[in-house]
């Protein structure tokens, strides 16, 4: 009798799983979905940029005039953490690029925002300014210190893309923001 009851339990579980899988399949096929859509959610960073430019003791940098294909994906301003400004993008190749700024000492700040990148002996000229190259296991970076803050352009993108972002940066302090790409 115990063997028969055990077989009924296993059979009941199999039947229940079959009903659940059939129900899930029906939902999947009849609920509209489009796998060709880009799942990346873009953000409008104009409010945070205005706030940062009014509150930060340094000229806050944000890109202006980036070519099509750059998608803003994240933005923060943390006054209590060295007036830290962050704006993240996906470049046209789908690689991550972030602009980071802070009044925190560069020796602590840069390794943290670059995921432990290290300073190299190389520099790169971007828009007439010299940027230090940092290389890391996850992120590479271009770093410039001055005007009361450290500016870091970092991410998984190539140095060419990092330089493209660095060249697009415009700094303002307490002014109205540059035009911001629409969240499309």
The more confident residue out of 86 and 34 is 86
- pLDDT band at residue 58 under the 50/70/90 scheme: very high
- pLDDT band at residue 9 under the 50/70/90 scheme: confident
DSSP class of residue 26 equals: H
The tens digit of pLDDT for each residue in 19-43 reads: 898 888 877 777 776 666 666 788 9
| Residues paired with 118 in a beta bridge | 135
Distance CA 77, CA 82 (A): 10
Confidence (pTM): 0.74
The tens digit of pLDDT for each residue in 112-145 reads: 999 999 999 999 999 899 999 999 999 999 999 9
């Amino acid at each position: 009798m115990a063997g028969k009851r055990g077989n009924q339990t296993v059979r009941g579980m199999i039947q229940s799983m079959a009903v659940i899988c059939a129900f899930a399949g029906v939902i999947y096929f009849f609920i509209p979905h489009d796998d060709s859509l880009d799942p990346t959610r873009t953000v409008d960073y104009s409010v945070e940029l205005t706030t940062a430019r009014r509150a930060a003791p340094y000229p806050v940098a944000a890109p202006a005039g980036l070519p099509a294909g750059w998608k803003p994906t994240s933005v923060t301003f943390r006054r209590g953490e060295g007036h830290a400004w962050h704006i993240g993008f996906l470049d046209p190749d789908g690689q991550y690029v972030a602009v980071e700024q802070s009044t925190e000492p560069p020796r602590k700040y840069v390794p943290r925002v670059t995921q432990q990148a290290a300073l190299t002996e190389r520099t790169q000229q971007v828009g007439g300014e010299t940027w230090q190259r940092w290389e890391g296991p996850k992120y590479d970076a271009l770093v410039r210190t001055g005007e009361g803050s450290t500016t870091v352009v970092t991410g998984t993108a190539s140095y060419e893309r990092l330089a493209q972002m660095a060249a697009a940066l415009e700094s303002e302090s307490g002014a109205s923001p540059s035009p911001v790409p629409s969240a499309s």
